[in-house]
Amino acid sequence: MSFVNQNIKPLNTRVNETGNLEISGCDLVELAKKYSTPLYVMDKSTLEKMANDYKQAFSSYKNTRMMYASKALMTSAIASIFYKLGFGFDVVSMGEMYILKNAGIDLSHATFNGNNKGEDELEYALLNNIARISVDNFYELELLDSLAKKMNKNQKILLRITPGIECHTHEYIQTGQLDSKFGFDLHKIDEVIDLIQNQYKNLDLMGLHAHVGSQIFETQIFEDEIKVLLKEIRRIKDKFNIELNEINIGGGLGITYVKSDAPPDVYQVADVTIKAIKKYCALYELDEPILYIEPGRSLVATAGVSLYTVGSSKNIEGIRKYIAVDGGMADNPRPSMYCAEYFAEIANKKDEYKPEVVTVAGKFCESGDIIIKDIELNSPKAGDILCVYDTGAYCYSMSSNYNGVLKPAMVLINNGKSDIIVKRQTLKQLVENDVIV
């Protein structure tokens, strides 16, 4: 049995009677015709299944708070879906906070994370009664207390620490090792607590926060992280007589982008996490804390696919054949940024299969604009529709207007119905902030 994050394709993906790929009753070729390409497609049933698996997996630990890591994909519709499923939100900017409010969601359901929060962002969070702020550094500690004092507020905070744990993932998405831009080093915690106790009177310290990275395939790393957090909470209790009862372990569960990927499922992660909390609470004689977890990629990546139209091709005898599509690094920068791998299929012509190894290139003016290198596809020709899987996370979030190309639309599909949840950008919108002097 495989779980959502272990599948390459969304739930209910099949070849329909016309020979086209279909997801949740929606023909992908017809979607491409209706909405044009490039097109982001999000499958609601896949997204909901993964969210409910998270809730079920951690259900035996009653003090769990599920916080969707909004940076993975943040739109008003996506936020609304997670809110209705009982999730809170981990936000990292004023923009993400504003999107929540636009979706009718109060910031009392959100935590604010980040290594260089701006004064305007902190003011916005305080004004809108954000639930928790994960303080990352001494500069922020002083600034937040000053702002809270001016606004006559007491803000509940967590301290983000650097646990000194390295996970086996790409260096750009590691965050828990000692050489990281995120968090307080452990040997600085006493100084922080002394400041909170004696100087920063408008900050209420509730607990500790750590995050070890993204696209994690190891479960042991979560136990290691929990041990560090709870051991530090015990030490703080002994030295400062402070009872901290919240831990935030971040997210990071990996997904299957290509067949060689082998992530654990969410039930395995939950089992390791809950057992570790009980084990180290017993060892350090602590009450079991409130547990915050921040899944992002694993909630939305598998639910999303990107549709492109195949255009030109170039065959270099004995070396490689390139096929180009009408998108690329502006709507999915991950392959160019850190060699991320994807799987794709031609969405039409599924009833006749003539395999051909090609490299899928984007349309942008960079040699590095390669979406997938050396993949076997069904004899791709100009006009075919290419479906790239697992693009629900970090594609729309990281998209840009490079080369002046417009950002794609996004549709939500469910039970044979499709709805626009992000409109395609227009040429007018591209220049609406440009000023001629």
Angle at 10 between CA 9 and CA 13, to 5 degrees: 80
Q: What are phi and psi of 227, to 5 degrees?
A: -60, -45
Kind of pairing between the strands at 21-23 and 13-15 = antiparallel
Q: Which amino acid would we find at residue 128?
A: N
- Cα 147 to Cα 25: distance, rounded to the nearest angstrom: 51
- Cα 283 to Cα 264: distance, rounded to the nearest angstrom: 27
- Cα 305 to Cα 344: distance, rounded to the nearest angstrom: 9
Q: Which residues contact 183 (CB under 8 A, 6 or more apart)?
A: 115, 136, 137, 160, 161, 162, 209, 210
Alpha helices in 261-389 (DSSP H): 266-283, 297-300, 334-338
**Nearest C-alpha neighbor of 140 from the set 170, 182, 89, 198:** 182
Q: Classify 206 as helix, strand or coil.
A: strand
Q: Which residues contact 216 (CB under 8 A, 6 or more apart)?
A: 167, 169, 252, 253, 254, 263
- Compute how many other C-beta atoms are within 10 angstroms of the C-beta atom of residue 28: 24
**Nearest C-alpha neighbor of 219 from the set 173, 276, 257, 178:** 276
Is-contact 311 317, C-beta < 8 A?
Answer: no
Q: What is residue 294's DSSP assignment?
A: -
Known catalytic residue at 281: no
- The alpha carbon dihedral of 54, 55, 61, 65 has a sign of positive
Catalytic option among 26, 281, 339, 365: 365
* Three-state SS letters, 399-410: CCCHHHCCCCEE
Catalytic residue IDs: 365
